[in-house]
A and B are shown apart, each in its own frame.
Chain A
Amino acid sequence: MRWRRAERPTPPRLESRLDHEGEGGEQGRANVSEAPREWDDDRLAAYEEAAVELCTCVTSAYDGPGGWHDRVWAAGWAAMSFLEDDPARARFLLVDVNGAGRRAQARRDRLLQRLADMLDGGRDQLEDPAAISRCTAEIAAGAVYATLLGRLDGGGLEQGKALLGELIYLAVMPYLGSRAAEQELLVQPLR
């Protein structure tokens, strides 16, 4: 729960901010009190810890038995359970990380690349797996993230599993085709 300790940091004193803002020696009053401060090492470590927890939980579900489609469902279910379980942690992982500087963004991107790795397994569903590249999985992962971000921005993920059909649609559509993917939208959330 290290991330929770990092969730609400003590606001830095003005002198401290002046010492940190405008890295590279170009400092000034102009850069104080604008966007939230760049995450420090502690906060980045807390993010990393929460991200590893999420990845472990999702990867474990994805590595289970069954075909790719079933394993994507299992991974999606595990991810949404994890995010629903602690809405503040979900916001920390998916929303707060934006605006926290390039290092934080790079960590968020690693998380999404892990998702793309899983989705890229869908190429084996194609007659010719070489017909598309990993880029397709990256687009699908970005689409899943955009959906989650929009939902978190508009409130929260308390009913996150109701979103699963939509997320799985985005994940499998490039590999299984539009008609098959549309079937995901008919699946009851408590599958």
Chain B
Amino acid sequence: MALSATVARRMAETRSISERLATLPPGRHLVPHDFVVQNQRERMLLATAELVAERGYRRTTIESIAKTARVALTTFYEHFESKEECFLAAFDENVDAAAEVFAELVDPELDWTEQISTGLEVFLEMVATETPRATLCLVESQAAGPAALARYQGMLERVAPKLREGRALNPRSARLPEGLEVALAGGIAWLVHQRLVAGEVAEIKALLPEMLQIALTPYVGEVEAGRAADAAQARIAA
């Protein structure tokens, strides 16, 4: 199965409850209470991603989240104390979902270079197929206040250990800056941020070769990084 289809399938599975049952039938029914509660929560998190991507965090209100998720305002408050709490929950859920996809699709037995190449490709596929969720995590998290910004920073730090493994390939790795990995992750995230803000998502996978070149160079040098970038270019062209 092509990577794009696999990513789309896996990302969809992370919200399968909502997709299977977009809204619950009104009135008394036999659906277990826990299921109802979980389903409501997922609908609100999805609604938050869609609304925030469309109009921004500031202009998204609790009323609009409840309305889009088709829950009562009181139900919202049963789950979350504030819009910010709901936003942060959506952020966490999306990052965890993305981490699951990475864990499934990036084989840890591959060479490190291959892992980074596949990981970045999966990342760009996720941005392309789940644009509202990507916008929530990469754009709006930087506009939604200090707690959200801390989450964004935490997300970059979560990526860093995988990049850091590449230090084993550079005999002069002791020289490399301590914060290199977070900086590289931040640079890549900012480029995608720019494309999301500009609405230029259709061609986002074309960024892969240059992203790879810059992400790999500190560890394997520009020649080896260039080979990986060329291979990525060939994959995209195919």
What is A's interface to B at a CB cutoff of 8 Å? 22-24, 26-28, 30-31, 34-36, 38, 98-102, 104-106, 109, 112, 132-133, 135-136, 138-147, 149-150, 153, 166, 169-170, 173-174, 177-179, 181-182, 185-186
29 contacting pairs across A/B (C-beta < 8 A): A22-B59, A23-B58, A24-B61, A26-B61, A28-B61, A31-B62, A34-B83, A98-B143, A99-B145, A99-B146, A99-B148, A101-B56, A101-B143, A102-B58, A132-B213, A135-B191, A136-B213, A139-B184, A139-B187, A141-B187, A141-B190, A142-B190, A143-B184, A143-B187, A147-B179, A150-B183, A170-B183, A174-B214, A185-B177
Complex: chain B residue closest to A151, CB-CB: B179
**B183, A144: Cβ atoms closer than 8 Å:** yes
What is B's interface to A at a CB cutoff of 8 Å? 55-59, 61-64, 73, 76, 82-84, 139, 142-146, 148-149, 153, 156, 170, 172, 175-177, 179-180, 182-191, 193-194, 197, 207, 210-211, 213-214, 217-219, 221-222
Q: Which residues of A contact B148 (CB under 8 A)?
A: 35, 99
- Per DSSP, chain A at the interface is helix
**A142, B191: Cβ atoms closer than 8 Å:** yes
Picked from A100, A138, A144, the residue with its CB within 8 Å of the CB of B191 is A138
**A139, B210: Cβ atoms closer than 8 Å:** yes
**B175, A182: Cβ atoms closer than 8 Å:** yes
**A139, B145: Cβ atoms closer than 8 Å:** no
Docked Cα-Cα span, A144 to B84, in Å, equals 28
Q: Which residues of B contact A182 (CB under 8 A)?
A: 172, 175-176
Docked Cα-Cα span, A99 to B76, in Å, equals 23
Picked from A98, A109, A185, the residue with its CB within 8 Å of the CB of B149 is A98
Docked Cα-Cα span, A109 to B139, in Å, equals 11
**B222, A178: Cβ atoms closer than 8 Å:** yes
Task: Give the shortest distance, in Å, between A42 (CB) and chain B (any CB).
Answer: 17
Task: Give the shortest distance, in Å, between A44 (CB) and chain B (any CB).
Answer: 14
Docked Cα-Cα span, A185 to B186, in Å, equals 20
Picked from A27, A146, A177, the residue with its CB within 8 Å of the CB of B156 is A146
Are A138 and B179 CB-contacts (below 8 A) given A31-B83, A98-B142? no
Complex: chain A residue closest to B142, CB-CB: A98
Docked Cα-Cα span, A112 to B63, in Å, equals 35
Docked Cα-Cα span, A136 to B55, in Å, equals 29
Are A178 and B56 CB-contacts (below 8 A) given A30-B62, A105-B143, A112-B190? no
Are A28 and B62 CB-contacts (below 8 A) given A139-B190, A140-B214, A177-B222? yes
Q: Which residues of A contact B222 (CB under 8 A)?
A: 177-178
Picked from B146, B175, B183, B214, the residue with its CB within 8 Å of the CB of A147 is B183
Docked Cα-Cα span, A173 to B149, in Å, equals 27
Docked Cα-Cα span, A100 to B145, in Å, equals 7
Task: Give the shortest distance, in Å, between B210 (CB) and chain A (any CB).
Answer: 5
**A146, B59: Cβ atoms closer than 8 Å:** no
**A139, B61: Cβ atoms closer than 8 Å:** no
Docked Cα-Cα span, A112 to B186, in Å, equals 13
Q: Which residues of B contact A35 (CB under 8 A)?
A: 57-58, 84, 144-146, 148
Q: Which residues of A contact B193 (CB under 8 A)?
A: 142
Q: Which residues of B contact A153 (CB under 8 A)?
A: 153
Docked Cα-Cα span, A173 to B217, in Å, equals 8
Picked from B56, B170, B187, the residue with its CB within 8 Å of the CB of A170 is B187
**A139, B63: Cβ atoms closer than 8 Å:** no
Task: Give the shortest distance, in Å, between B21 (CB) and chain A (any CB).
Answer: 26
Complex: chain B residue closest to A23, CB-CB: B59
Docked Cα-Cα span, A26 to B57, in Å, equals 13
Docked Cα-Cα span, A143 to B186, in Å, equals 5
Are A38 and B58 CB-contacts (below 8 A) given A142-B186, A182-B176? yes
Docked Cα-Cα span, A147 to B176, in Å, equals 14
Picked from A102, A135, A142, A179, the residue with its CB within 8 Å of the CB of B221 is A179
